[in-house]
Structure 1
């Protein structure tokens, strides 16, 4: 027989999961709500797991932040926004790095809970069943940034819409031979959703598209740029991130190709320094710092039992600069 979970209790009682968690951890819950939860617990013979019970002592005014890489521009700007807003609200940020390792992400969910953090903001790359089991076990609010899952409150970048809008602009400018340089599909937002937005725009225009796959590291994109430069197979190279675009630009330069005279290049992310490159990089600007501040607000709302949407989108801004040529 399947074990009853906190999600089951919440659905049967008609309340939020965070409300059940607050009740189980001795927090303030209204009398009517308390009676609903207690009735469901009795009817289902629900027994809180031992790990969650060990966390019932008073939590700190600390918010854990799980990041995949400390050297990531996006992560650092997001953390700045989180830290500024939490400081304003009297909370502190505790950052842990997972080096893009799924096992370490799962471990850190448990470790942060053991350190009595009040909530966790998780800059994720993928969501597995084991992640969900950990979130269920620790019974404290978790907010996911950059990825989404129906069971986890998520703050999501509009990757598909932004990629489609930028891709359509390139098609309007007459580009039909395109190379797309992306990342592995394990990263749902960048490796799948962002890619799909670009490909939809390209396919609608009947463009000839060739794809390459690389990592998030600049160094790994340099040989791809050099190969493209040698082959001269496209008028436009579209990159899934600004870092990839920087590597491609370097590789093209190494092969003697000029941007945008010989081939155009675009990125995605909107890192500040891409505006002062020569040529300046056409890209999508994502508001990392504002997203961090928004994430801090959302996790604090969850701590007080406020109802918020399971999925919230940020915004984006297309930056049309010198690195992409207009062909028509």
Structure 2
């Protein structure tokens, strides 16, 4: 691999002259052409991260994610990466393994690495987060969560859950289990549950029980087994597709046919929901597009533009084979 030293030697100039060329500094036209020719001949590619640290205007965007083994996260990252590449920005990823304290630490760490701004797929927003945003003075955009003082790109969790609730009721289900997550997660734990509750309140004649699990499929398998034994609902509405897949596995282990013995729905529109049998009925969020829009929004802010404080992405219900229509029976 060629280095700046190699380019300087081949061009017959000082290393500092090559650095000025790469960073847009002032050099003579003849020297510029000479360096340009050598770079083209050698195929030299400058280290974007090192350049960014030295440049007055960095082009590295820090992206903080709660986990890497998530379909939603991977899709959002794909959207972010595509948009940043189109605008000549680079992405630096920090994984927090769903530890809130590590999210805050990552904000300070990325700031020390001179990133231009931060895209944060937060699990929750605490006072420690807000303090970090204020002290680092970096432009920050939240993806998937919302705070009144921070730019955010959110999924329409409340409206989507309300529509899913109406869908479940329209299919004749009246004995319903809702399997959610901790309310520390405002988007998934609170807004989805509240949207679903609104649909149920509008109906009135339902027996509904609310349960809580983690985001892990294995935990969903265990609690679904308990729900079936203690409540025996006609449907389990799950706050994520991972949880829904756990519920599907639990039904299979108990020998309960889906959807005739137990109906199941998810949230997210993960790719695996179309692979399993029967295919999972779910709410699909446009994760990749949300990533693109958030990256575009951050670049707009970095260039002195304005964006709305809150931005909402689209959703749609995908009807497959895990919801029994009891109205036809």
Q: TM-score, normalised by structure 1?
A: 0.81
Match of 1:191 in 2: 189
Match of 2:155 in 1: 157
1:57 CA drift (Å) = 7.8
Going from structure 1 to structure 2, the CA distance change for 1:261 and 1:232 (only over 3 Å counts) comes to farther
Going from structure 1 to structure 2, the CA distance change for 1:300 and 1:252 (only over 3 Å counts) comes to same
Please state if 1:67 is matched with 2:62.
no
Instruction: Decide which structure has the larger Cα Rg and report it.
Output: 2
Match of 1:174 in 2: 172
Deviation readout 1:266-323 (Å, 9 max, x if unpaired): 0000001211211100000001111111111001001011111100100101111110
Match of 1:82 in 2: 80
1:255 CA drift (Å) = 1.1
Deviation readout 1:36-67 (Å, 9 max, x if unpaired): xxxxxxxxxxxxxxxxxxx9983421000000
Deviation readout 1:167-210 (Å, 9 max, x if unpaired): 11111111100000000100000000011111111222121101
Q: Following the alignment from structure 1 to structure 2, what is the Cα–Cα distance between the partners of residues 77 and 183?
A: 21
1:261 CA drift (Å) = 1.0
Q: Following the alignment from structure 1 to structure 2, what is the Cα–Cα distance between the partners of residues 159 and 271?
A: 16
Between Structure 1 and Structure 2, how many residues are aligned?
Answer: 274
Give runs of aligned pairs for residues 1-328 of structure 1, distance below 5 A. Answer: 58-206=56-204, 207-231=206-230, 233-328=232-327
Q: Following the alignment from structure 1 to structure 2, what is the Cα–Cα distance between the partners of residues 226 and 77?
A: 31
Contact 1:229/1:251 (<8 A) preserved: no
Contact 1:279/1:323 (<8 A) preserved: yes
List alignment gaps of at least 5 residues for structure 2: 1-52
Q: Following the alignment from structure 2 to structure 1, what is the Cα–Cα distance between the partners of residues 156 and 225?
A: 31
1:125 counterpart SS class = coil
Q: Following the alignment from structure 2 to structure 1, what is the Cα–Cα distance between the partners of residues 189 and 226?
A: 21
Q: Following the alignment from structure 2 to structure 1, what is the Cα–Cα distance between the partners of residues 213 and 148?
A: 29
Q: CA RMSD in A?
A: 1.4
Q: Following the alignment from structure 2 to structure 1, what is the Cα–Cα distance between the partners of residues 230 and 253?
A: 13
Deviation readout 1:124-158 (Å, 9 max, x if unpaired): 11111111111011111100001111110000100
